[in-house]
């Protein structure tokens, strides 16, 4: 049984469905279903209850996941302890919003675990960073993965799915998406970005009457404009540090609301490169750490 199958099981449990696990692991739902059936054959008992309309994991699936996650964590620790020091310079592209939320814990983790690894962040937009990666100008990047899956010439490792939320002026009282867009102008997240296109589709479906005069890419600028009462916006969850400066109401868009996939991407030839793998290790650790911060920021904004 391949270790990746156990990682897929963990993604299914975290996401709550085969579809969510597939999106997290950058696989098709049928591939996830096949892996889960193979695991059930391996253990000789079911991992999921298929009697209802929606497949649900059972207690044994949770037990398998708990055992394997502990084992994988110990194996990673042994690998870091037993391998020679990782030393050298690595160039990492990163999109602007993640420079505030993900980059600080990533650099801290890398310096703790790989003190001789010199990480050089490179700022850029998704399309520009992908091209730089293909040309060899950077070694890896942390970006929004395109909805089509991303270039097959590159290796994509999902880090986390970032939910989009609706932010509204702190003094607003409307409770539904339709009411907010009827009362306030739409400040649009730049449609040239993956997240912006996802947000625009959601608005077209739920508030076709929305009117827009402003369109920007900076999450900080969008949040500041909404905080000043100039409109409402659908964008990735602002971090707590941004909400402290520009208070807004944050309204979740439901379990099936829009989201974008944040992934670590490198060249196929560098999948075994120890410098790139050390960087990926730091990125995965930081992604887990910032998940709690994103949840805390949303809760704080919802209850100012």
Q: Measured between alpha carbons, how far is residue 116 from residues 84, 112, 278 in Å? A: 11, 10, 11
Using one digit for the tens of pLDDT, what is the confidence trace for 77-119? 776 665 567 889 999 999 988 998 899 999 999 999 999 999 9
Distant-in-sequence contacts of 209-212, Cβ < 8 A, 24+ apart: 209/181, 209/182, 210/181, 210/186, 211/185, 211/186, 212/185, 212/186, 212/187, 212/188
From CA 8, how far away is CA 133, in angstroms rounded? 27
d(CA 128, CA 140) in angstroms, rounded, equals 13
Q: Write down the pLDDT at residue 294.
A: 54
44 φ/ψ sector (left φ>0, alpha ψ -120 to 50, else beta): left
Answering whether pTM is above 0.85, one says no
149: left (phi over 0), alpha (psi -120 to 50) or beta: left
What is the average pLDDT value for the chain, to the nearest integer?
Answer: 88
Spatial separation of the C-alpha atoms in residues 251 and 7, rounded to whole Å:
31
Q: Is the pLDDT of residue 22 over 90?
A: no
- What are the tokens at 209? 């009457």
Structure tokens at 125: 């937009």
- The secondary structure element, H or E, covering residue 215 is strand 212-216
Instruction: Find the helix or strand (DSSP H, E) in which 197 lies.
Output: helix 194-206
Cα–Cα distance list, 153 to 68, 131, 133, 233 (Å)? 31, 11, 10, 35
Residue bearing tokens 């369109």? 215
| pLDDT (0 to 100) of residue 300 | 47
CA–CA distance, 96 with 190 (Å, rounded to integer): 13
Note the pLDDT of residue 108.
Answer: 96
In sequence order, what DSSP letters do the residues of 51-104 get, joined into one string? SSSS-EE-HHHHHHHHHHHHHHHHHHHHHHHHSPPP-EEEEEEE-HHHHHHTHH
Instruction: Name the phi and psi angles at 159, rounded to 5.
Output: -105, -50
Q: Higher confidence at residue 75 or residue 221?
A: 221
Distances (CA, A) of 154 to 2, 19, 98: 22, 23, 21
Residue-wise pLDDT for 230-280, tens only, equals: 999 999 988 888 899 999 999 999 888 999 999 999 999 998 899 999 999
Residue 267 CB contacts under 8 Å (≥ 6 apart), including other chains? 133, 134, 136, 139, 153, 154, 155
């Amino acid at each position: 049984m391949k270790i990746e199958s156990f990682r897929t099981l963990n993604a299914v449990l975290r996401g709550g469905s085969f579809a969510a696990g597939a999106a997290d692991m950058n696989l098709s739902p049928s591939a996830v279903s096949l892996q889960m059936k193979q695991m059930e054959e391996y253990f000789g008992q079911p991992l999921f209850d298929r009697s209802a309309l929606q497949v649900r994991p059972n207690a044994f699936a949770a037990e398998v996941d708990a055992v394997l996650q502990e084992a994988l964590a110990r194996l990673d620790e042994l690998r870091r302890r037993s391998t020679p020091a990782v030393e050298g310079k690595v160039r990492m592209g990163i999109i602007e919003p993640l420079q505030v939320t993900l980059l600080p814990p990533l650099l801290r983790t890398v310096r703790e675990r790989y003190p001789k690894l010199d990480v050089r962040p490179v700022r850029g937009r998704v399309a520009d960073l992908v091209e730089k990666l293909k040309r060899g100008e950077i070694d890896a990047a942390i970006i929004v993965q395109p909805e089509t899956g991303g270039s097959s010439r590159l290796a994509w490792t999902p880090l986390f799915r970032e939910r989009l939320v609706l932010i509204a002026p702190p003094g607003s009282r409307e409770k539904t998406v339709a009411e907010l867009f009827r009362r306030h102008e739409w400040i649009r997240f730049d449609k040239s970005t993956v997240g912006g296109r996802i947000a625009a589709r959601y608005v077209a479906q739920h508030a076709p009457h929305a009117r827009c005069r402003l369109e920007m890419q900076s999450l900080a600028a969008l949040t500041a404009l909404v905080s000043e009462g100039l409109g409402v916006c659908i964008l990735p969850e602002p971090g707590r540090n941004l909400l402290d400066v520009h208070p807004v109401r944050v309204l979740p868009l439901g379990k099936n609301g829009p989201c974008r996939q944040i992934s670590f991407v490198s060249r196929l030839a560098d999948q075994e490169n120890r410098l790139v793998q050390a960087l990926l290790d730091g990125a995965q650790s930081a992604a887990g750490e910032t998940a709690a911060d994103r949840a805390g920021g949303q809760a704080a904004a919802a209850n100012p």
